[in-house]
């Protein structure tokens, strides 16, 4: 129902109503050789988005299908320009006024194109939204005699149509107006069709937008240096339109951020927005764009999921607590450690909930007595002091020290962690260890620091040459493992992986097997990367039998947990050549004591459990805490729910 409401909100925002009874004639405006622009009339009624028409060698590309009634008018207009058929239609995004006419064109032989992200958005919303519009007396005329139809072909990046004389580039521009926005670029004529990723005037609907990447999308458009810009709404323009649109979002974000720093509420922030240049451009006061101000306010206060978390593809739990008739909204959350510094900003996402950050053990125990949640850590002491506890958020990815807490499972306390937050950094650390060993970087660094230049001594590394064409086994295809797989695949490696369940196909993984096939896969791998969490099943998993079964002379990388490796067996395998080299960010014991055999084992590169570190981590953790607090208070499914029974 939420998706239907969002689409109907778009319709209302666009002031959709029945077509005027008077005939409507569209007038294509020629803006280049074989290129036309139709600015849709808005009086006496709004009848849809602007449309582009581009002549190809053997047909026509129409940019935006519009509503079905408008699509038929566009077909008539095309026939006045050329005898060529409409061969392709591009939905620049999934909104009704740009895509509901798909079936009209497809039934006449056209192929409907869109970004893969647009197709996903459309499939999630448009069938129900089309039906809702068709059953509404005020809007049914727009879609009468037609149906919803998904785009037939999806793309990422750039899809090229046309030929050398009229190259047409369909570009997935990123999450601007919607997650699946596309623009059309004609480089020889420097014409850019922008859909609603750039509009001319006060037409921005932000219901499916994200202002930060929208600015980046506009930057991308500006770098194309167009001389003609054809927007989804408003009059034809030039590159100045892109600059105005970018300035609007940039200054709006700056204004809202200043207001929040001064602890102003939304009403005050909106009222104080005064941008004379915007009035000159758009014809309305900036403060009248209340929905835009509110959207950015919600973005910056965490009431909408932050972009950084969306990009990490964090997985929500399978249960929404508010769907249970017995669910009650929380009344108190205790903040500890890192989270204790977030009191002010968490108030925006936890309205009506008491947030406390007690200092000292006695104050903590007293605060926990009636707490619904604790954010920052959990322990037996915390659990015993909090009889009402429903949720605990920890700040580490590994949870081996938490899942065994007595009473956690029995009390059905939901545990969430920071999995996937550290994936990109740890994956880059894996590559650093791997490449340093293969290329002999660590040996070269030692020699050059001593003032020795000996290229013959270090050039070969451990003798594996280039990694391209080699095979890597990622053991544990979770959040970190998947990031490792992506990077190894990009380097031209064959990627094997293990995962507890073969739940889906991953484009970056050539073969996925369950853990019982570990040794079989290891026998084929030039590199083995351990990304497993520590559980009873993974403790001591990499033992003498594993190193014997694995391909002789492989490189072993461990960024999982030290206790998953039998250290004695690893040292023996290094010394007898079963393992050619090892890169270890974690060890057992940890830290390694002086004189430990690993210090003197052959071809070992050790880093002191530092792979997850980096300047981005505190910010990502702050965003995760804020988002999960918002979800908990709203009764939504939490992110990064730990399966306590499985230990991860």
3 state SS of 106: helix
The percent of residues above 70 in pLDDT, for the chain, comes to 95
Q: How far apart are CA 598 and CA 593, in angstroms?
A: 10
Residue 268 has pLDDT above 70, yes or no: yes
Classify domain 321-421+618-634 by CATH number. 3.40.50.720
Sheet-wide strand order for 604-606: 511-513, 494-498, 471-475, 527-530, 554-558, 579-584, 604-606
Class of residue 259 by CB neighbours under 10 A (exposed 0-12, middle 13-18, buried 19+): buried
Helix axis angle, 441-449 to 423-439, nearest 10°: 70
What pLDDT is attached to residue 13?
36
Q: What are the distances in angstroms from CA 601 to CA 457, 590, 606?
A: 19, 16, 11
**Residue 412 CA neighbour count, 13 Å, CB half:** 1
What pLDDT is attached to residue 398?
83
Lowest-pLDDT choice from 63-77, 275-289, 391-405, 630-644: 391-405
Residue 591 has pLDDT above 50, yes or no: yes
Of 562 and 460, the one with more pLDDT: 562
Residue 1 has pLDDT above 70, yes or no: no
What pLDDT is attached to residue 23?
58
CATH superfamily, domain 2-237, is Ribonuclease Z/Hydroxyacylglutathione hydrolase-like (3.60.15.10)
Q: How far apart are CA 10 and CA 76, in angstroms?
A: 27
Residue 460 has pLDDT above 80, yes or no: no
8-state DSSP, 245: H
Residue 478 has pLDDT above 80, yes or no: yes
**Residue 330 CA neighbour count, 13 Å, CB half:** 27
- Residue 359: strand pairing partners: none
Helix axis angle, 290-300 to 211-223, nearest 10°: 110
Residue 448 has pLDDT above 90, yes or no: no
- Find out whether 94 and 122 touch, Cβ atoms under 8 Å: yes
Residue-wise pLDDT tens digits, 318-351: 889 999 998 999 999 999 998 999 998 999 999 9
What's the first-to-final CA gap in the chain, in angstroms? 33
Residue 144 annotated among the catalytic residues of the structure = no
Catalytic entry in 190, 247, 279, 609: 609
pLDDT band at 634 (very low <50, low <70, confident <90, very high): very high
Helix, strand, coil percentages (3-state) for the chain, rounded to 5, are 40, 20, 45
Residue-wise pLDDT tens digits, 352-381: 999 999 999 999 999 999 999 999 999 999
Helix axis angle, 211-223 to 239-261, nearest 10°: 150
Catalytic entry in 177, 390, 554, 561: 561
What pLDDT is attached to residue 41?
87
What pLDDT is attached to residue 459?
52
Residue 491 has pLDDT above 70, yes or no: yes
Residue 609 annotated among the catalytic residues of the structure = yes
Q: How far apart are CA 99 and CA 49, in angstroms?
A: 10
Q: Which ranges of 205-347 would DSSP assign to H, the alpha helix?
A: 211-223, 239-261, 266-271, 276-282, 290-300, 307-312, 343-346
Q: What are the distances in angstroms from CA 214 to CA 87, 139, 189, 222?
A: 30, 30, 25, 12
Q: How far apart are CA 256 and CA 249, in angstroms?
A: 11
Residue for token digits 């105005």? Answer: 244
Average pLDDT of the residues in 198-207: 93
What pLDDT is attached to residue 618?
87
Q: How far apart are CA 251 and CA 409, in angstroms?
A: 49
Lowest-pLDDT choice from 17-26, 176-185, 246-255, 558-567: 17-26
pLDDT band at 568 (very low <50, low <70, confident <90, very high): very high
pLDDT band at 601 (very low <50, low <70, confident <90, very high): confident
- Find out whether 204 and 295 touch, Cβ atoms under 8 Å: no
Residue-wise pLDDT tens digits, 270-318: 999 999 999 999 999 999 999 999 999 999 999 999 888 888 888 898 8
Q: How far apart are CA 418 and CA 403, in angstroms?
A: 14
8-state DSSP, 542: B
- Find out whether 546 and 519 touch, Cβ atoms under 8 Å: yes
Task: Answer whether 321-421+618-634 and 423-606 agree in fold.
Answer: yes
pLDDT band at 422 (very low <50, low <70, confident <90, very high): confident
Residue-wise pLDDT tens digits, 132-165: 999 998 889 999 999 999 999 999 999 999 776 7
pLDDT band at 638 (very low <50, low <70, confident <90, very high): very high
Residue 561 annotated among the catalytic residues of the structure = yes
What pLDDT is attached to residue 10?
41
Residue-wise pLDDT tens digits, 45-99: 778 899 999 999 999 999 999 999 999 999 999 999 999 999 999 999 999 999 9
What pLDDT is attached to residue 2?
40
CATH superfamily, domain 423-606, is NAD(P)-binding Rossmann-like Domain (3.40.50.720)
Q: What is the mean pLDDT of the chain?
A: 91
* Sign of the CA dihedral with 136 first, then 138, 143, and 148 last: negative
Domain residue spans of the chain: 2-237, 247-300, 321-421+618-634, 423-606
What pLDDT is attached to residue 457?
59
Catalytic entry in 247, 511, 590, 596: 590
Residue for token digits 């005939």? Answer: 23
Average pLDDT of the residues in 559-583: 95
Residue 20 has pLDDT above 80, yes or no: no
What pLDDT is attached to residue 279?
94
Residue-wise pLDDT tens digits, 220-262: 999 999 999 999 999 999 999 999 999 999 999 999 999 999 9
Residue for token digits 């037609």? Answer: 146
């Amino acid at each position: 129902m939420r998706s239907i409401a969002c689409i109907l909100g778009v319709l209302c925002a666009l002031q959709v109503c029945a077509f005027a009874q008077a005939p409507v004639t569209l007038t294509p405006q020629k803006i280049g050789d074989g290129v036309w622009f139709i600015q849709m009339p808005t009086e006496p009624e709004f009848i849809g988005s602007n449309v582009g028409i581009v002549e190809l060698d053997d047909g026509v590309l129409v940019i935006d299908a519009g509503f079905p009634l408008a699509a038929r008018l566009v077909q008539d207009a095309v026939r006045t320009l050329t005898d060529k058929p409409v061969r392709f239609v591009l939905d620049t995004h999934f909104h009704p006024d740009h895509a509901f006419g798909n079936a009209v064109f497809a039934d006449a032989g056209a192929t409907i194109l869109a970004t893969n992200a647009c197709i996903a958005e459309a499939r999630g919303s448009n069938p129900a939204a089309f039906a809702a519009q068709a059953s509404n007396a005020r809007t049914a005329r727009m879609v009468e005699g037609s149906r919803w139809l998904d785009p037939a072909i999806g793309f990422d990046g750039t899809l090229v149509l046309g030929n050398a004389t009229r190259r047409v580039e369909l570009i997935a521009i990123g999450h601007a107006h919607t997650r699946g926005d596309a623009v059309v670029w004609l480089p020889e004529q420097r014409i850019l069709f922008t859909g609603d990723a750039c509009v001319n005037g006060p037409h921005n609907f932000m219901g499916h937008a994200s202002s930060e990447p929208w600015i980046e999308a506009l930057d991308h458009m500006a770098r194309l240096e167009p001389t003609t810009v054809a927007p989804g709404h408003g009059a034809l323009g030039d590159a100045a339109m892109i600059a105005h649109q970018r300035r609007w979002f940039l200054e709006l974000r700056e204004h809202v951020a200043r207001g929040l720093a001064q602890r102003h509420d939304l009403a005050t922030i909106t009222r104080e927005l005064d941008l004379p240049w915007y009035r000159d451009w758009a014809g309305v006061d900036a403060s009248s764009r209340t929905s835009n101000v509110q959207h950015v306010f919600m973005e910056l206060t965490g009431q909408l999921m932050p972009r950084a978390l969306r990009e990490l593809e964090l997985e929500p739990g399978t249960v929404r607590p508010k769907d249970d008739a017995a669910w009650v909204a929380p009344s108190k959350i205790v903040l500890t450690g890192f989270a204790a510094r977030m009191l002010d900003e968490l108030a925006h996402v936890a309205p009506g909930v008491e947030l406390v950050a007690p200092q000292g053990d006695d104050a903590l125990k007293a605060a926990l007595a009636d707490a619904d949640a604790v954010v920052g850590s959990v322990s037996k002491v915390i659990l015993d002091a909090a009889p009402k506890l429903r949720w605990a958020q920890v700040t580490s990815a590994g949870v081996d020290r938490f899942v065994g807490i007595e009473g956690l499972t029995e009390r059905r306390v939901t545990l969430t962690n920071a999995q996937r937050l550290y994936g990109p950094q740890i994956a880059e650390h894996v590559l650093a260890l791997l490449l340093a060993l293969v290329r002999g970087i660590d040996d070269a660094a030692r020699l050059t620091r001593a003032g020795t230049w000996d290229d013959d001594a270090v050039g070969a590394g451990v003798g594996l040459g280039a990694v391209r064409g080699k095979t890597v086994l990622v053991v544990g295809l979770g959040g970190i493992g998947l990031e490792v797989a992506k990077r190894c695949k990009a380097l031209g490696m064959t990627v094997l992986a293990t995962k507890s369940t073969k739940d889906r196909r991953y484009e970056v993984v050539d073969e996925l097997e369950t853990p019982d096939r570990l040794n079989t896969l290891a026998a084929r791998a030039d590199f083995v990367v351990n990304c497993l969490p520590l559980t009873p099943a993974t403790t001591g998993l990499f033992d003498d039998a594993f190193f014997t079964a694995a391909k002789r002379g492989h490189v072993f990388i461990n960024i999982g947990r030290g206790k998953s490796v039998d250290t004695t067996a690893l040292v023996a395998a290094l010394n007898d050549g079963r393992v050619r080299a090892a890169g270890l960010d974690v060890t057992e014991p940890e830290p390694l004591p002086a004189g430990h055999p690993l210090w003197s084992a052959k071809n070992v590169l050790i880093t002191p459990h530092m792979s997850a570190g980096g300047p981005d981590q505190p910010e990502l953790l702050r965003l995760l805490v804020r988002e999960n607090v918002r979800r908990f208070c709203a009764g939504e499914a939490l992110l990064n729910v730990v399966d306590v029974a499985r230990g991860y």
